[in-house]
Chains A and B, each alone.
Chain A
Amino acid sequence: GAVVSQHPSRVICKSGTSVKIECRSLDFQATTMFWYRQFPKKSLMLMATSNEGSKATYEQGVEKDKFLINHASLTLSTLTVTSAHPEDSSFYICSAIRLQSSYNEQFFGPGTRLTVL
């Protein structure tokens, strides 16, 4: 199967600091990765689409200067939450599409729980 990892799984930070979350496809290459945010007992909310070697595409209402996305290789995308505020506390999940796939199968990471104090 296709495995996607995220690091860290949990992070607690102080307001005003920046936090970086890594998303890796472990056994396949991915030109496209997605970043989602999920609130308790809610569905997944797409934040941005990350394409290797190009700028990310952000969904309406998502601040690109606050949520910096870098997709530096075919197996790694990073999300940096800058100047974190308590309202940024959430469950962040990434997904990846296999490079060779002709369909839109997205494989999700285990998620990162961010708590901003």
Chain B
Amino acid sequence: GENVEQHPSTLSVQEGDSAVIKCTYSDSASNYFPWYKQELGKGPQLIIDIRSNVGEKKDQRIAVTLNKTAKHFSLHITETQPEDSAVYFCAASLGYGNKLVFGAGTILRVKS
């Protein structure tokens, strides 16, 4: 089955700096890769996703890149703000109706 590894487990950055979180997946058939932000005591919130027919996607300060050959994808957050502090999860899926396999999560701390 699919296995997703996520690094780093914790990341501290200064406000205004960039943050990068990386994930690798094992199943080459996976074709959907979302990123979720989870704040303490709340459910995960979808912040950006990418499908296997696209190499990069950007939404304001957030971007995701996908390398299908290497089977890894990354989340990039630029100009970080204190409110970006949260746990971020990557996931991989085989497509519609299939389960998401999550990475272990990254605790992002943005210091002001």
Contacts and interface: CB of A to CB of B under 8 A. Distances in A.
A108 B37 CA distance: 11
Nearest to A94: B43
B100 A104 contact: yes
Interface stretch (A13-21, A41-49, A61-69, A75-83): A41-49
Interface stretch (B11-19, B65-73, B77-85, B88-96): B88-96
Report whether over half of chain B's contact residues are helix, strand or loop; otherwise say mixed: loop
Given A43-B89, A43-B104, A103-B32, A108 B98 contact: no
Contacts of B102: 43-44
Nearest to B49: A105
A3 to B, nearest CB: 11
Nearest to A2: B46
B64 to A, nearest CB: 14
B46 A104 contact: no
Interface of B: 32, 34, 36, 41-46, 49, 51, 89, 93-100, 102-105
17 contacts: A6-B43, A34-B99, A42-B104, A43-B102, A44-B44, A44-B102, A46-B99, A93-B43, A103-B95, A104-B32, A104-B34, A104-B98, A105-B34, A106-B46, A107-B46, A108-B44, A110-B42
